Chain A
Amino acid sequence: MEKNKRDWPLWEVFIRSKQGLDHKHVGSLHASDAEMAIENARDVYTRRMEGVSIWVVESKYLHASNPDEEGALYESAKSKIYRHPTFYNIPESVGHM
């Protein structure tokens, strides 16, 4: 087989499982263009009515946070417990709040 053939680009697929819910990442696939990516996503990821809407984005346009910066990015939220409603003591007698 000849080498150096160009692979079809990789696309990330997001599916809205039902009206009113967010699109959720379900996986990826190869396709030559966006139209084919959507058609392939239909065949690969919604054979059992798993979706009512499909988003595709070419993987090279997706930017991700660096796992090595986990500490710098998320650590500081840990100490801010006053951001949660359970931090505050409200007497039961005042009713639901």
Chain B
Amino acid sequence: MDNIVDLEKHFQDRIDAEQRIEPKEWMPDAYRKTLIRQISQHAHSEIIGMLPERNWLTRAPSLNRKAVLLAKIQDEGGHGLYLYSAAETLGVTREDLLDDLHSGKAKYSSIFNYPTLTWADMGAIGWLVDGAAIMNQVPLCRTSYGPYARAMVRVCKEESFHQRQGYEIMMALCEGSEEQKQMAQDALNRWWWPVLMMFGPKDDASANSEMSLKWKIKRFSNDELRQRFVDMSIPQIEYLGLTVPDSELKWNAERGHYDFGEVNWNEFWEVVKGNGPCNHQRLETRKKVYEEGEWVREAALAYADKQQVLRESSQHVA
């Protein structure tokens, strides 16, 4: 099997037979590139996603809420690490991936470019943002690239607590004073549409979708997942006694799904291009933190080198 046509056919046959592809095995360049882009984008989203929540860490309303939020944020850092490691199996370095994030070349989920204005946003994020992430990520546990699929199994196991703690925050607010309930409604109003954008552009406008489906990197289209998310969320919203900021939302008995209004795609593309409310702030914070950690990374290496020399010289003596 030498020529590229045979290799590609063999590769696609394996994909069609639901076999996982592993790091050292042959794969088309475009498959590798697509994976590096998607996995690193996903990793960047996990670590940038820590920033909007960090904003409320020191102002959590109780020690319990603070411990929970801290644990959730730590999980997100872990998710970033699982995913960076998976990307590195494709032959890129961590350093390069981070450089691309810091230079703005690589993207991360546009949802994290919105501000967290009240404590209710911690509820809305856990419940809706992590909820939408789960909807996107569960099918990725069966994605065709082995290390990515295994990382996603880990991530998905941990995500469910994120969503539940968020919903519990919303429940507490909705059972509270009129003002607290209002705060919950306001958070829902601000997050609902950006969350629907998390599933990506409409199918007919999604450039990468078709090949990703063929290679089983993706398993469902953007619009399918978005619909599923809306259907799942409405009963949860009703239970809280809140309303969706969408006048076109109504049950369609014929389709067996909710109809809903059109996402503001101009806003979506503006945020993707870097013009969302917090794009600049997020990236600046991230770069600052990374630069400030440089001396720690260097010192740790210097220490390791020194220990190595000491070990070697003591071996000579012995």
Size category, B interface: 20 to 34
Question: Could you list which residues of chain A lie within 8 angstroms of chain B, going by C-beta atoms?
Answer: 1, 5-8, 10, 27-30, 32-33, 36, 43-44, 47-48, 64, 66-68
CA distance A35 to B151 in the complex (A): 24
A-B Cβ contacts below 8 A, count: 55
CA distance A28 to B81 in the complex (A): 9
B102 at the interface (CB under 8 A from A): yes
B297 at the interface (CB under 8 A from A): yes
Query: In the complex the two chains form, is A1's CB within 8 Å of B74's CB?
Result: no
Within 8 Å by CB of A32, from B74, B94, B300, lies B300
Query: In the complex the two chains form, is B94's CB within 8 Å of A64's CB?
Result: no
Q: With A1-B291, A67-B24 in contact, do A29 and B81 touch (Cβ < 8 Å)?
A: yes
Question: Could you list which residues of chain B lie within 8 angstroms of chain A, going by C-beta atoms?
Answer: 22, 24-26, 71, 74-75, 78, 81-82, 85, 88, 93-95, 99, 102, 150-151, 154, 158, 287, 290-291, 294, 297-298, 300-301, 303-304, 307
Query: In the complex the two chains form, is B297's CB within 8 Å of A28's CB?
Result: no
Within 8 Å by CB of B25, from A5, A44, A67, lies A67
CA distance A32 to B78 in the complex (A): 18
Q: With A32-B304, A33-B304 in contact, do A7 and B94 touch (Cβ < 8 Å)?
A: yes
A-chain residues with CB within 8 Å of residue B85 when the two chains form the complex: 27-29
A-chain residues with CB within 8 Å of residue B303 when the two chains form the complex: 32-33
- Consensus secondary structure, chain B interface: helix
CA distance A36 to B307 in the complex (A): 13
Query: In the complex the two chains form, is B307's CB within 8 Å of A33's CB?
Result: yes
Min distance, Cβ B97 to any Cβ of chain A, angstroms: 11
**Residue in chain A with minimal CB distance to B294:** A5
CA distance A30 to B26 in the complex (A): 26
B-chain residues with CB within 8 Å of residue A33 when the two chains form the complex: 300, 303-304, 307
**Residue in chain B with minimal CB distance to A66:** B24
Query: In the complex the two chains form, is B81's CB within 8 Å of A7's CB?
Result: no
**A1-B290, A33-B303 given; 16 more Cβ-contact pairs under 8 Å:** A1-B99, A1-B102, A1-B291, A5-B297, A6-B301, A7-B95, A8-B297, A8-B301, A28-B85, A33-B304, A36-B304, A43-B74, A44-B81, A48-B158, A66-B24, A68-B26
CA distance A8 to B99 in the complex (A): 15
CA distance A32 to B287 in the complex (A): 21
CA distance A64 to B88 in the complex (A): 17
Min distance, Cβ A57 to any Cβ of chain B, angstroms: 15
Query: In the complex the two chains form, is B150's CB within 8 Å of A27's CB?
Result: yes
